[in-house]
Homo-oligomer: A and B are copies of this chain.
Amino acid sequence: MSQLPREFALIERYFRPLAGPAALGLADDVALLRPPAGTDLVLSADAMVAGVHFLPDDPPDLVARKLLRVNLSDLAAKGAAPLGYLFTIAAPAGTDDAWFAAFTAGLAQDQKDFGLSLLGGDSVATPGPLSLSLTILGTVAPGRAVLRRGAAAGHGVFVSGTIGDAALGLEVLQGRLADPSGFLAQRYRLPEPRLGLELADFAAAAMDISDGLVQDLGHLCRAGGVAAAIDAAAVPLSAAAAAAGPDWLARRLTGGDDYELLLAVPPEAESRLAAAASRLGVPLTRIGRFMPGPPEVSVSAPDGAPMIFSRPGWSHF
């Protein structure tokens, strides 16, 4: 018993330094957490698989930070603050210590930047590709979580940041598009969760855009029982995406991995939105409106013609 099996050595060396007090040093079966009084818990889980959600040769620290950030983005989209996370890793048998060192260094960096800690998890071997799963816990004041339902006719459709960078970044990484600055690839590899906005002050409904703007806006429409019309020319784009040219417009509107906010905002709340956006330095842009009708999304091209998409976003299976 003097020589610990490698599974436990990995936990002690790489994962234990990430653990917060509730994790019991990762030396128990569980984490034990007294939730902060007077808050609601917000919970979300996302899985990522090598070759599906990231490229097998992506740097391990960026894979780790993306895993954490796609979940942080779910909290951000509810106006919640991060508390902690559990994650499981199914790693190919040949995964070496250098990989674990880089992966956990990425987690350590983002834990510090976003104010949360590891609560627990599990590490197992797989004969398949690296598979990751992360469950995040956040807190929000009671009644202050902004849900997907709530969009109503007359509300504006708003997005944060710029849209389509990550989808183009994947094209870059797959050799189909040039990206001299590296900006687009970085946007694919490292989402920016839009934490810190008091969404309940101005948004009637919210979600994060992970599977493509048009498809995700359809979710807000279904949840609210409304239609939406957006203007492609109004959808904010980065300089790097603009440089890619107009041929990539449809890809930008339907590609995944934006992890920007998608909001329904009543007209009377727009001034509060503008104040909040300015305070945090997060660009929030009106790209269309919700209106009565069946839960469908219509998109006007820059020339005013309706755009038709072969698929509105990403779907597994």
Contact = CB atoms under 8 A, between A and B. Distances in A.
Interface residues of A, number: 83
A201 interface: no
Contacts of A81: none
Interface in A301-317: 311-313, 315-317
B128 A126 contact: yes
Nearest to A9: B317
Interface stretch (A129-137, A169-177, A238-246, A265-273): A129-137
B317 A74 contact: no
Interface string A140-160: 101001011100000000000
B295 A1 contact: yes
B296 A45 contact: no
A86 B43 contact: yes
Contacts of A312: 1
Contact of A129 (B24, B128, B140): B128
A124 B30 contact: no
A287 interface: no
Interface stretch (A103-111, A114-122, A229-237, A275-283): A114-122
B43 A33 contact: yes
Contacts of A1: 215, 218, 221, 295-297, 312
Interface centre among A89, A135, A145 (most CB of B within 10 A): A135
A56 to B, nearest CB: 11
B124 A53 contact: yes
Contacts of A128: 49, 126-129, 131
A140 B315 CA distance: 39
Contact of A31 (B34, B44, B207, B222): B44
A78 interface: yes
A17 B87 CA distance: 25
A7 interface: yes
Contacts of A218: 1
Contacts of A19: none
A29 B208 contact: yes
A105 to B, nearest CB: 19
Interface centre among A24, A93, A317 (most CB of B within 10 A): A317
B135 A29 contact: no
B6 A317 contact: yes
Contacts of A148: 24, 27-29
18 contacts: A6-B315, A28-B207, A29-B78, A30-B74, A32-B41, A32-B78, A34-B40, A34-B41, A35-B41, A43-B86, A46-B122, A47-B131, A49-B128, A49-B131, A52-B125, A128-B129, A128-B131, A135-B135
